[in-house]
Amino acid sequence: MTAPKVDPEAPAIEIRDLHKAFGDNEVLSGIDLEVGQGDVVCVIGPSGSGKSTLLRCVNLLEEPSSGDVFVEGIQVTDPDVDVDAVRSRIGMVFQQFNLFPHLSVLRNLTIAQQRVKKRDKSECEGIARANLDKVGLSDKADAYPAHLSGGQQQRVAIARALSMEPDMMLFDEVTSALDPELVGDVLAVMKQLANEGMTMMVVTHEMGFAREVGDDLVFMDGGVIVEQGNPRDVLGDPQHERTKAFLSKVL
Partner 1 sequence: MAMSPRKRARLSRGIQYVVLVVLVLVAIALMDWGRIQEQFFNLDSARTMWPDVILIALKNTIIYTACGFGFGLLLGLVLALMRLSSVGPYRWLSTGFIEFFRGVPALVVFIALDIGISLAFPGYAVPGDKLGIATLALGLVGGAYMAETIRAGIQAVPKGQMEAARSLGMSHTRAMISIVIPQAFRIILPPLTNELILLTKDSSLVYVLGYTSAQVELTAFGRETLNQERNLTPLVAIALCYLLITIPLSIVVRRMEARSGRAR
Out of 48, 101, 184, 236, which residue is the one contacting partner 1 (CB under 8 A)? 101
Cβ contact 201:194 at 8 Å? no
- Residues comprising the chain, all counted: 251
Asked if 99 touches partner 1 (CB under 8 A), the answer is yes
Asked if 90 touches partner 1 (CB under 8 A), the answer is yes
Asked if 161 touches partner 1 (CB under 8 A), the answer is yes
| Number of residues near partner 1 (by CB under 8 A) | 28
Asked if 160 touches partner 1 (CB under 8 A), the answer is yes
Out of 26, 67, 144, 191, which residue is the one contacting partner 1 (CB under 8 A)? 144
Other CB atoms within 10 Å distance of the CB of residue 179: 10
Q: Give the integer Cα–Cα distance in Å for 138 and 125.
A: 12
Q: Nearest approach, Cβ of 207 to partner 1 (angstroms)?
A: 26
Residues 209-248 interacting with partner 1 (rule: CB under 8 A): none
Cβ contact 66:19 at 8 Å? yes
Asked if 112 touches partner 1 (CB under 8 A), the answer is yes
User: 101: buried, middle or exposed (CB in 10 Å: 19+, 13-18, 0-12)?
Assistant: exposed
DSSP helix/strand/coil, 202 = strand
Cβ contact 213:206 at 8 Å? no
Comparison of 146 and 251: residue with beta carbon closer to partner 1 = 146
Note the residues at the interface with partner 1 (CB under 8 A).
Answer: 59, 61, 84-85, 87-92, 94, 96, 98-102, 111-112, 115-117, 144, 146, 157, 160-161, 164
